Chains A and B, each alone.
Chain A
Amino acid sequence: MKILVTEKNEIIRNLILHILTKEGYDLKLASNGKEAFTFLSEEKFDIIISNIHLQYYSGFELITFIKSNEHLKDTKIVILSDNFTPENILRLYKMGIDDMIEKPFTPMEMICRLGKLSELITKEKNLGKFTS
């Protein structure tokens, strides 16, 4: 299961690296919008965890990029932020994200949410195999 983590704070990035590699995920780390954009253009990820406010490309732009791109449409999007105002939450869900994690968070919360998402992904993939 490949995950792209875009987080501007170094400490959280490291923490997430530790948490998720222990769970067996295959991680790629990005620290700003430009790196995320480059990674997204190069390879396909199963899940992307990202901030909203990033340099170069905002989280919103990344979401529209993913949604409008044929190859990347199935990528699950998780937003990790400390900035969830009611308007933003509504906006994000309307844009089609799959989950939200609010800072401060517990590692267990992240593991559970991602676990659920990866279950969903495996189910979808199996269904795809069935129908194709």
Chain B
Amino acid sequence: MEEILYTALDYYKGIEFSDFYNSSMRAVAIGMFLSLFLTNLLSFLAIKKYLFKRKFSQSKKLALMNHAPGISIITGAYNESMTIIDNVHSLLSINYHKFELVVVNDGSSDDTLDKLIKEFKLEETKYIFETIVQSAPIKGIYRSTDMAYKNLVVIDKFNGGGKADALNAGLNIAKYDYFLNIDVDCVLDFDTLLIMMDVVLNEKKRCIGVGATLRMSNSSFVNRGTMENVGVPKKLLVRFQELEYIRSFVLGKMAWSYLNAVPNISGGLGLFDKEIVLKIGGYDKNSLGEDMDLVFRMVGYMQETNQPYCVRSVPRTLCWTEGPETLQILVRQRIRWSRGLFQILKKNKKVFLNPKYGRMGFIIFPYNLFFEFLSPFVEFIGIFVLIYNYFYDPVAFMNILYLIIAVISFYIGLSFSAVFLDRKVFNYYKNGFVTLGISAMAILEPFIYHPIIVYCSLKGYYDELTGKKKKWGVMTRKGFNKTN
């Protein structure tokens, strides 16, 4: 046994300073540098193109948008008694000429439904419709007797085990050709529907999904569902999340959007083509990452049927969502996300490097496999290798330490450029200091936040592998800060 270990160590030492090791390390370094540069370049180009188009279409907007397709906003509410009224009010006053709001009361045990009935003067109505996608049974459908709330539809149904089921029920009832999938606790920008539909209308290929940037609403002031004051989050954990979201949306998603290879549209805000979603059978109840699962299946379907399509992302922040403030809830959320990722990769194995699936097989799937899925493993093993070398091989230790520091500084550079790009384009923060404050989180991130994420990813994969029971968990609502 010892001999095997010694030969393994010798072999390892052998490759250490060999040319193979050196040149591969060089390749890694150059690769990372290039990808930092490329991501920045692509997202910068995408954002510039977007802003330019916006400037022009704004002046043409007026009468034309009256003929744009209608949108059904579908949202599921489970025990949202505290904030439901404000949220529904804010959604009903969105700036769009033709939309309906479908609120699915997903078997709430509190007084969510009663509050809705009272506030919006709802009354139960007979509805004959066709069930195109399966969902848990519906108890009743309510509409308002007050003409001011004519475009509100409330569905009361039994709990089907998650958001996916609620959305499926809503899909059967929704009447327009496009639907917007949001979380009911999100605060949307006033012009959200206009901005997203604008993207859909200006594409030459069929646009099947549009996403936008999300941000933390934790320290912002919200009144009657309208964002009054965008505040930078104060709690440390939320600040990390804010930075992560900016980096992921402004840099990541925009670069992907430029290449028409967006892997995922967040469940917090997404506009989709209803026909395609119905054709693939709606949302998957059993998936823990139902938003990514939907996009994967939609793209797969379009590739299989050889239809040209595109999936885009809007760089502007259109949705503010409440991020987990305690470690416990954050961990639960991230474990769920990584389980979802694992499920999706398993489910869609067939697209890997499959020419039939085009971009999906050669860009989206490999990227998610190597950079999202495998990276926690690499990092974890890297820590062990580092510790081992500290005791046994100081030279190698220094080498690996420098490699790690180089990688960390790469990510810090990425974060800074993301915040800078976002700041240059959309002025959400009050001043330079605040922005600097958020960017500086990037320096603390590798030591405080990132290990948590790595742990959650690994635990998620382990749970998924061992087939642990799936739990969504309850997100305790703090509600929004009210202005005095």
User: Which residues of A does B touch, CB under 8 Å?
Assistant: 32-34, 53-58, 60-61, 63-64, 82-85, 87-88, 91, 94-95, 103-104
Contact = CB atoms under 8 A, between A and B. Distances in A.
Interface residues of B, number: 21
Given A54-B93, A56-B223, A64 B146 contact: yes
Given A64-B147, A64-B148, A103 B94 contact: no
Contacts of B146: 64
A58 B62 contact: no
Contacts of A83: 65-66, 97
Interface of B: 62-63, 65-66, 89, 92-98, 146-150, 190, 223-224, 226
Contacts of B190: 53, 55
A34 B148 CA distance: 16
A89 to B, nearest CB: 11
A60 B147 contact: yes
Contact of A88 (B65, B89, B97): B97
Contacts of B226: 32, 55-56
20 contacts: A33-B93, A34-B223, A34-B224, A53-B93, A53-B190, A55-B190, A56-B93, A58-B92, A58-B93, A60-B148, A60-B149, A60-B150, A61-B89, A63-B148, A64-B146, A83-B66, A85-B97, A88-B97, A94-B147, A103-B62
B62 A82 contact: yes
Contacts of B65: 83
Nearest to A82: B62
Given A60-B147, A84-B66, A53 B96 contact: yes
Contact of B150 (A53, A84, A91, A104): A91
A82 B60 CA distance: 12
Chain A contact residues, majority secondary structure: loop
Contacts of A91: 147, 150
Contacts, number: 53
B91 to A, nearest CB: 10
B12 to A, nearest CB: 63
Contacts of B223: 34, 56
Contacts of A57: 89, 93, 224
Contacts of B62: 82, 103-104
Residue among B93, B146, B149, B190 with max Cβ neighbours from chain A (10 Å): B93
A58 B148 contact: yes
Contacts of B147: 60, 64, 91, 94-95
A8 B390 CA distance: 64
Q: Nearest 6 A-B pairs (CB), nearest first? A: A60-B148, A58-B93, A53-B95, A83-B97, A64-B148, A82-B62
Nearest to A54: B93
A82 B65 CA distance: 9
A58 B149 CA distance: 10
Contacts of A60: 147-150
B122 to A, nearest CB: 15
Contacts of A58: 92-93, 148
Contacts of A53: 93-96, 190
Given A61-B89, A82-B63, A84-B66, 20 more contacts: A32-B226, A33-B93, A53-B93, A53-B95, A53-B96, A55-B93, A55-B190, A55-B226, A60-B147, A60-B150, A63-B148, A64-B146, A64-B148, A83-B65, A83-B97, A85-B66, A85-B97, A85-B98, A87-B98, A88-B97
A104 B97 CA distance: 16
A104 B63 CA distance: 9
A18 to B, nearest CB: 21
A82 B58 CA distance: 13
Nearest to B63: A82
A26 B318 CA distance: 38
Contacts of A95: 147-148
A61 B147 CA distance: 9
A58 B224 CA distance: 11
Nearest to B70: A85
Nearest to B225: A56
A56 B148 contact: no
Nearest to A92: B147
A32 B223 CA distance: 13
Contacts of B150: 60, 91
A88 B338 CA distance: 45
A31 to B, nearest CB: 12
A60 B146 CA distance: 10
